[in-house]
Amino acid sequence: MAVRILLLTGWLLVGSAAAVAHWFGPGVDGRKLDLVAKHVRAAQTAVATEDYTAAVEEYAAALKDLPEGRTADAQRIRLERAKAQMLAQQLPEAHGDLRTLVDEIGADAGADAKLLADARSTLANAQYYTTWLMRLEGLGRDEWEPEIEAARQTYRLLAEDADRRGDAAAATKHREDLESAVRLARMELSELQGLNLPKQCNGCCSCKGRKPGKKNGPAPKQNDVRGAGGAPPIDDSGH
């Protein structure tokens, strides 16, 4: 299975240990590779069954067992862990590691361009959902606007990059995400309160460490928001 498929489909279930072994490549200690592959497959299974907390734990275990010096592999696992964290009520943790991860990959001239794009897109999604929570908390525009502006700029960059590659589907997706970010910034608070709460925000705290306050009115329904508010999906897999 090609590396790009493992990365860009959200790491859906693979059929065998050999497929994961192919991703890590030759020269890795067989026992360590088997153990890492076991954790990765378990994480993928957990994602498929929406047990995101278990997925986070399995990805963390894979990172712990990964042989030293496998920087790119560690980055890939961290990215998938962050995606799971965003659905496991761990948005702040995901947000923080994604910032670091994007900086690390961006600073490496030899890094996989598709991995960098995936990490940037996931960070922009984290910033989008963080903005959602900050607005529900009643924080001022000066506090939440930098988050959504960063997401907006990233979505635009990704759309332009996709255009240059001739990837029309990706360009369309990123432009739709850009439109969602613009809508979130312009939306009245009363409108936002009336929308279903995204799964990525359900039970989570914002980067300020506070849950959405009750003073803003009744809690929104805790369902996926994409049907009502146009929030971007967590990744290209549609989770």
Question: For residue range 175-213, what is the model confidence (pLDDT) as tens digits?
Answer: 999 999 999 999 999 999 998 878 787 666 544 444 333
125 lies in the same domain as 228? yes
Number of domains within the chain: 2
Measured between alpha carbons, how far is 59 from 79 in angstroms, rounded to an integer? 10
CB 104 within 8 A of CB 72: no
pLDDT in tens, 17-54: 455 555 555 554 677 878 998 999 999 999 999 999 99
At which of 68, 85, 102 does a domain end? 85
**At residue 238, does pLDDT exceed 70?**
no
Q: What is the pLDDT of residue 87?
A: 94
**At residue 132, does pLDDT exceed 70?**
yes
34: region left, alpha or beta (phi > 0 left; psi from -120 to 50 alpha)? alpha
Mean pLDDT computed over 74-81: 96
Which residue range is the domain that position 16 belongs to? 1-85
Size of the chain, expressed as the number of residues it contains:
239
47 lies in the same domain as 70? yes
pLDDT in tens, 142-182: 999 999 999 999 999 999 999 999 999 999 999 999 999 99
**At residue 56, does pLDDT exceed 70?**
yes
Work out the angle between the directed axes of helices 91-107 and 71-85 (0-180°, nearest 10). 150
Q: What pTM, to 2 d.p., does this model score?
A: 0.75
52 lies in the same domain as 153? no
Q: Per mean pLDDT, which of 69-73, 126-130, 228-232 is the most reliable?
A: 126-130
Q: What is the pLDDT of residue 34?
A: 84
Exposed e or buried b for every residue in 43-65, given b needs 16+ CB within 10 A?
Answer: bbebbeeebbebbbbbbbbbbeb
At which of 53, 68, 85 does a domain end? 85
218 lies in the same domain as 113? yes
Radius of gyration of the chain (CA): 18
119 lies in the same domain as 194? yes
74 lies in the same domain as 97? no
Q: What is the pLDDT of residue 234?
A: 43
Of 55-69, 107-121, 207-221, the one with minimum mean pLDDT is 207-221
Mean pLDDT computed over 110-116: 93
205 lies in the same domain as 109? yes
Band of residue 115 on the pLDDT scale cut at 50, 70, 90? very high
Q: Per mean pLDDT, which of 126-135, 191-200, 217-226 is the most reliable?
A: 126-135
131 lies in the same domain as 233? yes
Q: What is the pLDDT of residue 144?
A: 96
74 lies in the same domain as 124? no
**At residue 109, does pLDDT exceed 70?**
yes
109 lies in the same domain as 222? yes
Query: Which stretches of the chain are DSSP H helices?
Result: 3-8, 17-24, 30-48, 52-65, 71-85, 91-107, 113-136, 141-165, 168-186, 189-193, 226-229
